[in-house]
Amino acid sequence: MNNKKENQKKYNIYLCTLGCPKNANDSEMAAGILEEKGHCIVNSPVDSDAIIVNTCGFINDAKKESIAKIFEMADLKEDENKKRLLIVSGCLSKRYGDDLFKEMPEVDIFIGVNEYHELPEILEKHQTDREIYIYDCNQQFQETTNRKLNENPYTATIKIAEGCDNICAYCIIPHIRGHYRSRKEEDILQEAEMLAENGCRELILIAQDVTAYGCDLYGEFRLAQLVKKLCRIDKLQWIRLMYCYEDRITDELIEVMASEKKVCHYIDIPIQHSSDKILKLMNRRSTHESIMNKIHKLRQAMPDITIRTTLITGFPGETREEFDELYDFVETTKFERLGVFAYSKEEGTPAADMKGQVRSDVKEKRKDSIMRLQLEISLASNQQRIGQVLQVLVEEQDEEGAYVGRTQYDAPEIDNSVIFNSDKVLKPGDMVMVRITDAFDYDLVGVEV
């Protein structure tokens, strides 16, 4: 038996990740699981003999990007010197695995979103015949102590739950990722301690809905208590909350955010719309009034808070009147950070069969209209920062020698940057104080003080 295990093939594996931070977190877990079993994670598909494409399948644009990447990797699958194994995982694979298996003979193995623990065994069993592995979502959060971090993990996500029970009319995620499953508090704290010991300064809490944390496991919302305990971890500097549902942002959570110095005065709230009619059609629990009240509470408790939201234009039934209401809402509320999606008709969702589907060109026009408005709002918001001295987390140095970083008011990859000069030699993960001297639509300029 031991000789058989010693003779099992060990792969050089290239992991290509698409989609949201939750997918990136999954890939880090997969890489750690594979390395523990003797496989090697490589940085280029050319150096690999197995390629994993971790896909996104949330909306049409994401699906197109995932399919294009699969075919790109398929072109590298075989060359003159080696034959590579091609594995597709993630949301697209979970959602369309059977169809993809028929349409993509280039792919050897398909797995879903919760099967990364099975990968080493799948690789051991795989022979020349094509196989497909699409499992049902597990009913409990699957723990693993194996996570492959970047060499300098100064910022890191921590997944506190998996799945979703918010049955929004436009969303396929509950079907893909299963019911909401909170992670045990002690396991989250243990991983957070590990991340801090490995150099993490910024810890980003993620889930499909972080504000629902604990409801299934403890019978109550426990996010506020969890955040307070995370703040006791010495080496952490920033704790950031992403994917917070408005109706579950409790007064207790707001108080913790305002009183705990390590919690970023930043919150991501996917509001989606402001019209009560459209919110009801979307099967959202929020109302226009509840949204406005929550924003008021957040800004009253933390006058400097940055609120990020996402909106959907062109949802079925959205007339010009509802869109004008949304436009006025954005103009009045003045979100510091905002993204807009044109509604994507997803098969298998209630919205796909609704009457009043909006033409694609109208959806896009409405999206562009709000983004033009947001450009003005963002510029005005940034200009208010001129003269302030802000703490900046260094991320890189550009070709001209200036440093690029972020403040607590900006999440990685999706929000603003600070471009600044310094007489010091800085490295990613350093935290410095920067005086803001200029502002643009989506960036700040400054100098270290």
Helix, strand or coil, per DSSP, at residue 416: coil
Q: What is the DSSP string of 259-291?
A: H-TTEEEEEEEEEE---HHHHHHTT-S--HHHH
91 is in an annotated binding site: yes
171 is in an annotated binding site: yes
For the stretch 117-123, contacts whose Cβ atoms lie closer than 8 Å and that sit 24 or more positions apart, written own/partner, are 117/33, 117/142, 117/144, 119/30, 119/33, 119/34, 119/87, 120/33, 120/34, 120/37, 120/39, 123/9, 123/11, 123/39, 123/50, 123/85
137 is in an annotated binding site: no
HEC states along 8-33?
A: CCCCEEEEEECCCHHHHHHHHHHHHH
How many of the other CB atoms lie within 10 Å of CB of 304?
13
Strand partners, 438: 445
Taking the CA atoms of 168, 172, 174 and 175 in sequence, report the sign of the dihedral they define.
positive
Question: What radius of gyration do the chain's Cα atoms show?
Answer: 23
Q: What is the DSSP string of 213-275?
A: TTTTTTSS--HHHHHHHHTT-TT--EEEE-S--GGG--HHHHHHHHH-TTEEEEEEEEEE---
For 134, the token pair is 């699409």
244 is in an annotated binding site: no
Helix, strand or coil, per DSSP, at residue 111: coil
Q: What is the DSSP string of 150-194?
A: -SS-SEEEEE-EES-----TT--HHHHH-S-EEPPHHHHHHHHHH
Known binding-site residues for [4Fe-4S] cluster equal 20, 56, 91, 164, 168, 171
Known binding-site residues equal 20, 56, 91, 164, 168, 171
